[in-house]
Homo-oligomer: A and B are copies of this chain.
Amino acid sequence: MINERELAAAIRELEEILGSRLSTHKSIREHHSRDESWHEAKLPDAVVLAQSTTDVCGALAICNKYRIPVTPFGTGTGVEGGVVAQAGGITIDVSGLNDILEVHAEDMDCRIQAGVTREQLNEHLRDTGLFFSVDPGANASLGGMAATRASGTNSVRYGTMRENVLSLVVVLADGSLVTTGGRSRKSAAGYDLTRLFIGSEGTLGIIVELTLKLQGRPEAVSAARVYFDDVDGAVDTAIASIQSGIPVARVELLDAMQMRAINEYSKTDYPEKVALFLEFHGSEASVAEQANRFGEICSDYGGSDFEWTSFEEERREMWDARHSAAYATMAIRPNAKVYATDVCVPISSLAACIRETREDVETNSELTTFCLGHIGDGNFHYVFLIDEDSSEEKRQVTEISERLVSRAIRMGGTCTGEHGIGIGKVKYLNEELGDNAVALMKSVKCAIDPAGILNPGKVLNCVGSEK
């Protein structure tokens, strides 16, 4: 619980250093009270609209002194409640830290502030022949993407945030700044602080700067679509193509309901059947070869209407539609909230994991579901639209989700491939990694944030070592 007198003192001191960059307006607090998911909103007491690293350092030093909970906020596009101000206190919004500081085209890296979004960065890189590969559906901030260890459609080939961040600048709970590395491609110098902060969801520090790896735009790109009568055929095709060594750049599963939602939202007219969306990168000859080899595998598994194109306009339409899938889903039941599962399993278990989940869903819920996934990584989402006020819908979905998580863990997988733990999956961490691993995480958390002010209630049930 926050001590009201200390909160008032903290807000007074924050106002002194920040002026109008500290807001207690209801609308601003409401905007910062939730993400895009079903997780219940909680209002912060005030919001810091940071414009610089100095703002973040100053705000944290004050909050740490008064032991006021701090919630970091980027674009608010997460889906596990990571930005919900669970314990009230101060939300620090870093979206104003949006400068692209340096692009080193010859080294294929760049240095940016944490509030820069992935689309902003790629727009900036347009004439360099380079791009940043990690692409969650939302136009998220790169700081937030690092904090949640995000991935997306390109990760099967180019890796997740884990593989694409060279180093970070992070503000610790006490307001001090840490730089976790340089620009070299590899280093064996000490503990991997970069990876320690990636995926820590704002519980160990607030990321203010990132040095990112960039990828060269491939000489040629081909995209393909193919349709199936059922999910099994699509999954088996994807697995066979990965196992046969085709270096797919993207391989996305979308079920018939998802395709219908996409057609309605993106005004496309794709067949409303189970689909795979694919992309191949390489030389002209190589992308044609990859697409053709993939086409042959498709026909073994009942794929139909296989078509590939290297026409950019058509590719762009297809990937825009794919990136809008979450928004397309939301549009189906406008006042409902999104509940997205996110397991990831070894690819040999993927077909069974999806099949058993579908059976569970069909048996135990009347809700409309959407299934889509980055299936080259073994990662898929069952997405539900639930009525916030219906405890029955919440119960159904929560139980299905719990069984799905246990199924994935039993298969050697994880409860979250890319969305993070947030509030929603704290309870699964012990089941997945064991009590000793969670205890170890807690001791790291207590060492780095002894007052426990950073994003309390997220990732770990941990209140800091000094309380």
Which residue numbers of A lie inside 8 Å of B, CB to CB?
Answer: 104, 106-107, 109, 148-151, 155, 159-160, 162-163, 172, 176-193, 195-196, 198-200, 204, 216, 219, 243, 245, 282-283, 285-286, 289, 342, 344-348, 377-379, 408-409, 412-421, 425, 428-429, 432-434, 436-438, 440-441, 443-448, 459-460
Q: Which B residues are in CB contact (< 8 Å) with A109?
A: 346
Closest to A416 in B: B188
Closest to A161 in B: B188
Contact of A437 among B155, B193, B200 (CB under 8 A): B193
For this complex, 17 residue pairs linking A to B, each with C-beta atoms less than 8 Å apart, are: A106-B348, A172-B436, A178-B440, A182-B409, A184-B408, A185-B344, A187-B344, A188-B199, A188-B414, A190-B437, A191-B200, A191-B204, A192-B196, A193-B440, A195-B196, A216-B245, A219-B245
- Distance (whole angstroms) from the CB of A369 to the closest CB of chain B: 22
Q: Which B residues are in CB contact (< 8 Å) with A179?
A: 433-434, 436-437
Q: Which B residues are in CB contact (< 8 Å) with A282?
A: 286
Q: Which B residues are in CB contact (< 8 Å) with A441?
A: 190-191, 193
- 4 pairs of A and B residues whose beta carbons are closest in the complex: A195-B195, A447-B447, A183-B412, A187-B414
Q: Which B residues are in CB contact (< 8 Å) with A150?
A: 188
Number of copies: 2
Q: Which B residues are in CB contact (< 8 Å) with A413?
A: 182-184
Q: Which B residues are in CB contact (< 8 Å) with A180?
A: 433, 437
Q: Which B residues are in CB contact (< 8 Å) with A245?
A: 216, 219
Q: Which B residues are in CB contact (< 8 Å) with A155?
A: 186
Taking A106-B347, A159-B163 as known contacts, 7 extra A-B pairs with beta carbons closer than 8 A to each other, sorted by chain A number, are A104-B346, A109-B346, A149-B192, A155-B186, A182-B432, A184-B413, A185-B344
A198 touches B189 (CB 8 A): no
Q: Which B residues are in CB contact (< 8 Å) with A148?
A: 188
Closest to A422 in B: B188
A342 to B419, CA, bound (A): 37
A347 to B104, CA, bound (A): 10
A7 to B243, CA, bound (A): 53
Q: Which B residues are in CB contact (< 8 Å) with A289?
A: 283, 285
B447 touches A107 (CB 8 A): no
A181 to B345, CA, bound (A): 12
Closest to A182 in B: B412
Given contacts A199-B192, A283-B289, contact A417 B187 (CB under 8 A): yes
Q: Which B residues are in CB contact (< 8 Å) with A345?
A: 184
B348 touches A429 (CB 8 A): no
Q: Which B residues are in CB contact (< 8 Å) with A184?
A: 344-346, 377-379, 408, 412-414, 417
- Distance (whole angstroms) from the CB of A278 to the closest CB of chain B: 18
